[in-house]
């Protein structure tokens, strides 16, 4: 009786480990939502880069939202397929593909939300606000780690 070497894809009894569908499932859902956004998108999206640089004026970026969301949907489908393939092979890196699919979904949603509207997406202000709100959270989390280690 020969035994299989114990790897990440086998259990201690030599059976194949069950496939973990959390990350591929999330990637598939985000890819399908991105496809839905692409199907309902229409018009032009304007991304405002006002106050991005003082030396070099950067104008607004005008994008055809249908084309951009279709390209993003294809990229999300590829990421979801990669996550599913890696999960079936029980390989590492499934979460990275899911992160890519999630990032693509967020970008598609932001472009879809201003498609065909007279308003613009203030990209610089969004990034400034994200950093302004994230820094106290990160510092609080780090202080919690330090206080936990010192006690």
Which residues lie closer than 8 Å to 1 by C-beta, 6 or more apart?
Answer: none
Q: What is the reported pLDDT for 108?
A: 96
pTM, full prediction: 0.79
Q: What is the reported pLDDT for 86?
A: 95
Q: What is the reported pLDDT for 4?
A: 45
User: Are 136 and 63 contacting, i.e. CB atoms less than 8 angstroms apart?
Assistant: no
Q: Which tokens in the block code for residue 58?
A: 């950067």
Q: What is the reported pLDDT for 54?
A: 83
Q: Which tokens in the block code for residue 3?
A: 């035994």
Residues 76 and 34: their CA atoms lie apart, in Å, by 7
Residues 61 and 38: their CA atoms lie apart, in Å, by 19
Q: What is the reported pLDDT for 12?
A: 65
Task: Count Cβ atoms within 10 A of the Cβ of residue 109 and give its class: 0-12 exposed, 13-18 middle, 19 or more buried.
Answer: middle
User: Are 49 and 122 contacting, i.e. CB atoms less than 8 angstroms apart?
Assistant: no
Q: Hey, which residues does 122 pair with through a beta bridge?
A: 48
Shortest CA distance to 23 belongs to which of 107, 106, 85?
85
Q: What is the reported pLDDT for 18?
A: 86
Residues 45 and 108: their CA atoms lie apart, in Å, by 11
With a cut of 70, list the residues of the chain below it in pLDDT. 1-12, 14, 150-151
Q: What is the reported pLDDT for 95?
A: 95
* Count of Cβ atoms closer than 10 Å to residue 95 Cβ: 14
24: Cα within 13 Å, side-chain hemisphere: 16
Q: What is the reported pLDDT for 58?
A: 87
Q: What is the reported pLDDT for 33?
A: 97
Which residues lie closer than 8 Å to 118 by C-beta, 6 or more apart?
Answer: none
């Amino acid at each position: 009786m020969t035994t299989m070497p114990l790897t990440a894809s086998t259990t201690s009894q030599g059976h194949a480990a069950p496939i973990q569908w959390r990350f591929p499932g999330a990637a598939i859902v985000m890819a399908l939502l991105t496809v839905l956004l692409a199907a309902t998108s229409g018009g032009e999206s304007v991304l405002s880069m006002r106050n991005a640089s003082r030396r070099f004026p950067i104008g607004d970026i005008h994008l055809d939202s249908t084309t951009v969301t279709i390209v993003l949907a294809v990229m999300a489908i590829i990421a979801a397929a990669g996550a599913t393939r890696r999960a079936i092979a029980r390989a590492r890196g499934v979460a990275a593909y899911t992160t890519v699919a999630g990032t693509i979904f967020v970008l598609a949603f932001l472009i879809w939300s201003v498609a065909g509207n007279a308003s613009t997406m203030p990209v610089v202000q969004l990034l400034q606000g994200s950093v302004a709100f994230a820094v106290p959270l990160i510092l609080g989390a780090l202080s919690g780690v330090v206080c936990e280690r010192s006690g």
